[in-house]
Amino acid sequence: MLAKTQLHDAVRHAPARDLTVTEIRTTIVDVPTVRKHKLSQTSVTAQSYVIVQLRLANGVEGIGEAATLGGPRWSEESVEGIKATIDTYLAPAMTGQPADRFVTAGERLDAAAKRNNAAKAALETALFDAVGKSLDLPVAALLGGAVRTSFPVLWTLASGDPDQEIAEAEAKLAARLHRTFKIKIGAQSPEADLARLARLAKALTERATLIVDANQAWDETTARRCLPCLADLGIALVEQPLPAWNVAGMGRLRARDRVPPLLADECVFTSHDMLAVAEAAAADAVSLKLVKHGGLVGLRKVAAVAEAAGIGLYGGCLLESSVGAAAHLHAFAGLRDLAWGCEHFGPQILTGDLVTEPLAFHDFAVHLPEGPGLGVTLDPDKLRHYARS
């Protein structure tokens, strides 16, 4: 039997078990980036997030994050809409509810609002973080346990200036931060993009792996013409060359000769989307993102369908801060195979982060933060500094 003082200490240090959600707050923040990040449909010089702070009856606070790119251009959600949806519909649906019933929470959120996947992902992340902190467990443990704690991580080259991009890539290689680079294409003509890629491939040959992301910029005719050129340049992976609706076209492209492996992104939000892509044989890999899949539970569902179909897993991002990136890493940590690594370099492209200790990047990998919950702590001073008026 425990001595009286030992019993007292055990009770005092035991986690409080009332996991009822009592309060949910949201804040829009805008964090400048170190350089312009240019996609086919938009470009950003500051990254915007909605930060969710969720408090339990035991006093523990969980945090979550929703990211967008340049407003409702990558998907239909904007930070303004995300905040309004959480404040008006999702927070009332979860206030007074148990935080640790994650599947039930997802059902409540789906009943409160259709789609709005980024908003739901941010709130669900805060639930997992709060429960993990309450039970002194990392989020990865709540999802079944980690099989990896470090992840090969790429860097995106997206200024459109090949001289600048070569210098940027050289600096990342020298610092042993990144040796896989994703080049954003589609904002210029295909001919200009191919010339730019040829320069990058020549400069980085045998020292780096290159993939490209068209962000839906090409039609099928353009893709048929350009994909063999990308194969000749040694491009390892091509992300979403066609519009999201044209899954059949992705399948036709993939069936042709001299086509690099294809990565599905904007065409896969739900597990049903993933099934349709698998049935069309439209992709070799899928990009997993919390903002697409509605949270950690949804991400794992999409990953399970992809695994069953023999489709590779790739950890996608929307330039998340260390809050959102940590949530992704916890979701990725339990996947049996993450053959294509991840792109959670977001904290490095920001002029400042939102946490007390940003994620660790070294030896060409990003590392899972240690500690309960997400393993990162929101910095209240930085939150106030970057908060939108």
- Which residues belong to the active site? 184, 343
CB distance 229 to 194 below 8 Å:
yes
Cα-based torsion angle of the residue sequence 83, 84, 87, 88 in order, rounded to the nearest 10 degrees: -160
CA-CA distances (angstroms) from residue 197 to 40, 238, 258? 15, 12, 17
CB distance 188 to 217 below 8 Å:
no
Residue 172 phi/psi, 5-degree rounding, is -65, -40
Q: Helices marked H in 233-270 — which ranges?
A: 247-254
Residue 22 phi/psi, 5-degree rounding, is -110, -25
User: Cβ neighbours of residue 147 under 8 Å, at least 6 residues apart?
Assistant: 333, 334, 335, 336
- Terminal Cα distance for the chain, rounded: 57
Instruction: Pick the closest to residue 350 from 359, 337, 342 (CA basis).
Output: 359
The alpha carbon of 117 is separated from its chain's Cα centroid by a whole number of angstroms, namely: 12
Q: What sign has the CA pseudo-torsion 375, 379, 384, 386? A: negative
Q: How far apart are alpha carbons 302 and 68 in whole angstroms?
A: 20
Q: How far apart are alpha carbons 320 and 285 in whole angstroms?
A: 21
Instruction: Pick the closest to residue 339 from 361, 313, 318, 373 (CA basis).
Output: 313
